[in-house]
Amino acid sequence: MKRLRHFSGCTVLPDGRIALVMNIANVIRTALGRRVVSASTNWDSDQPKASAAHKGTILLAEDSPTTRSLLKGILETAGHRVTVAVDGQQAWERVQQAEFDVVVTDVDMPRMDGFELTEVIRQSEQLMHMPVILVTARGTDRDKERGITVGANAYITKDSFEQRRLLETIQQLI
C-alpha cells in the first residue's frame, strides 16, 4: 500500500469483497501538479496535520472509514486541520480536550449519534457557540427538523453531497 499514492486503504464491501479506498486528496494534488502526501500517512490520525494555508481546525466525527477518509481528504486539501473521531462519544471527549473551529458529524454512529452530540455541545457553556454541521444519509424532513431543533448550524445530506457546498458552509461558520 505504501507505493499506491492514490489509495489510502481498503474496506470490506457488503458482499464480502475487498475494495481499495481512493485517496481523493492525492488524486486532486496530482491533477493540480502538487506534492502528493505519502501513502504511509495515517489518515485516521488523532492529531491535526500542520498546514501552511491553515483555514480552520475541524473535528470530523464519522464511523464509516471510507466516508471518514474521503471527508478528511477533502477538508485537508482545502487547507483545514482535521482531527477525527470514530463515533459521537469519542467526538464529545475530543471536543472537551482541544479547541476546534467547527464540528462536522454524521448522524448514525454508535455510542452517541450526531443528534445527541449536537445536543451535548449546545448544553455546554464552553462549547455552545461552536458551529456544528451534520453530514448524513438521513434526508427526511423529520430528520432535518430534528437536526435544526438540536442546534445544528447546517444539515447536508450525503445523497446530494457537493464538496463545494460543505467547504462554503464551513467558511461561512468559521
Complete DSSP assignment for 44-56 = T-SSPPP-TT--E
Beta-ladder partners of 104: 60, 133
Q: Who contacts 123 (Cβ-Cβ below 8 Å, separation ≥6)? A: none
* Cα radius of gyration (the chain): 16
Domain boundaries 43-173, CATH class:
alpha beta
Q: Outline which parts of the chain fall under CATH 3.40.50.2300.
A: 43-173
**pLDDT tens, N- to C-terminus, the chain (174 residues):** 455 666 666 677 777 777 777 777 667 767 777 655 544 444 444 444 444 446 789 999 999 988 898 899 889 988 899 999 999 999 999 999 999 999 999 998 989 999 999 999 999 999 989 999 998 888 888 988 888 899 999 998 888 778 888 888 898 888
pTM beyond 0.85: no
Question: What are the cell numbers at 45?
Answer: 490520525
Task: Tabulate helix, strand, coil % of the chain (nearest 5).
Answer: 35, 20, 40
Alpha helices in the chain (DSSP H): 24-31, 65-77, 88-97, 114-123, 141-150, 163-173
Beta-ladder partners of 157: 136
pLDDT of residue 17: 78
